[in-house]
Amino acid sequence: MKKVLSLIIVFALLITLPVLVFAEGEHPPILVDEAGLLTQSEFDSLNEKLNTLSTTLSFDIVVVTVNDIDGKTPMEYSDDYYDYNGYGYGEDHDGCLLLISMAERDWWITTTGYGITAITDYGIRYIEDTIVSYLSSGDYYGAFSAYADTVESFVKEARNGKPYDIDNTIDDYYDSYDYNYDDSPRELTAKDKAQAVIGSIVLALVISLVVSFGIKRSYTKAVHFNRDARNYLVPGSLNMSASYDNFLYSNVTKVRIQSESSSSGGGGSSTHVSSSGTSHGGGGGKF
């Protein structure tokens, strides 16, 4: 037991150590304007806003602008930027990063940890809808500001229990946008309904059969042999002379968590794994 306990402690330390070190170290800059899209006053005000929000939410809301993404895709660049600079709160590195690359006029939002939960595929589209018009018109301060506000509301909603998603939309969103699915909870197909009804009936059938046959058996097979002689064991006569519990080996199996698809109308976030091995969600496009 002591061995197990010390093992647990060592494990716990190993897991928390990087976090602790990170927490002690300096937080990487929350706003990086390499492309020089913001004036100094815009930069200062935005920097303060992002820092405040990130701290209060314990959720990094990062903005990075670059001129060029070194031949990587916007997704790879933003994922790596996030991972290797050590952004994110907690063990899961909760946060999101908006990348603007001026060379090809790309934008990309990458989500990590709790960001994947809070900002679903629906959320990415919502942010796209909010910021792309700003970006296209060159109002970068307005775009980043709107991005920060939107992310804040998404994280708060998710912390309240249910992230904004196709079945929990922000009002009026779809009025201005043309998507395949409805505003309200997803329309269930006849097949879904039939499955639920058949499932219920099968469940009822199984339980009823088990109970009925159990009762029948208890009546017609009441007379039976005794399995053991426990009634005749002299109480307190057990005297252990040897016992050991030896650990032999251990094996770990892992099953990939099915990421919910977003294209066919299901909710949630679609995720991918970046070069550092971290899981990210996100999306982007051109402006």
Partner 1 sequence: MAELLNYKCPHCDAPIQFEPGIQNMKCPYCDSEFDVAALKSKDEVLNSQPADSFEWDEKASEQWDETNDEGLRIFVCKSCGGEIVGDENTAATKCPYCDNPVVLSGRLSGVLKPNYVIPFKLDKNQAKQSLKDYVNKKKFVPNLFRSENHLDEIRGIYVPFWLFDSDVDAQVSFDATKVSSWSDSKYNYTKTDHFDVFRKGSMSFENIPVDGASKMPDDLMESIEPFDFSEAVDFQTAYLAGFLADKYDVDKEASIPRANERIKVSAEDTLRSTVSGYSSVTAKSSSVQLIKGSSKYALYPVWILNTTYKGNKYLFAMNGQTGKFIGNLPVSNAKLGALFAGLFTGISVLAILVSKMAGLL
- The answer to the question of residue 12 lying near partner 1 (CB under 8 A) is no
CA distances from 241 to 229, 232, 238 (A): 22, 21, 10
Please check whether residue 37 is in contact with residue 46, taking contact to mean a CB–CB distance below 8 angstroms: no
- The answer to the question of residue 5 lying near partner 1 (CB under 8 A) is no
Rounded-to-integer distance, Cα 269 and Cα 121, Å: 5
Find the binding residues for partner 1 in span 105-164 (CB under 8 A).
113, 116
Residue type for position 247 = F
Please check whether residue 83 is in contact with residue 76, taking contact to mean a CB–CB distance below 8 angstroms: no
Fill in the per-residue mask, 161 to 180: x = in contact with partner 1 (CB under 8 A), - = not in contact. Answer: --------------------
Q: Which of 68, 129, 182, 192 binds partner 1 (CB under 8 A)?
A: 192
- The answer to the question of residue 255 lying near partner 1 (CB under 8 A) is yes
- The answer to the question of residue 243 lying near partner 1 (CB under 8 A) is yes
Please check whether residue 150 is in contact with residue 130, taking contact to mean a CB–CB distance below 8 angstroms: yes
- The answer to the question of residue 203 lying near partner 1 (CB under 8 A) is yes
- The answer to the question of residue 268 lying near partner 1 (CB under 8 A) is no
Phi-psi region of 35 (alpha: psi -120 to 50; beta: other; left: phi over 0): alpha
- The answer to the question of residue 234 lying near partner 1 (CB under 8 A) is yes
In the complex, the residues that contact partner 1 under the rule CB under 8 A are 92, 113, 116, 185, 188, 192-193, 196-197, 199-201, 203-205, 207-209, 211-212, 215-216, 219-234, 237-257, 271, 273, 279
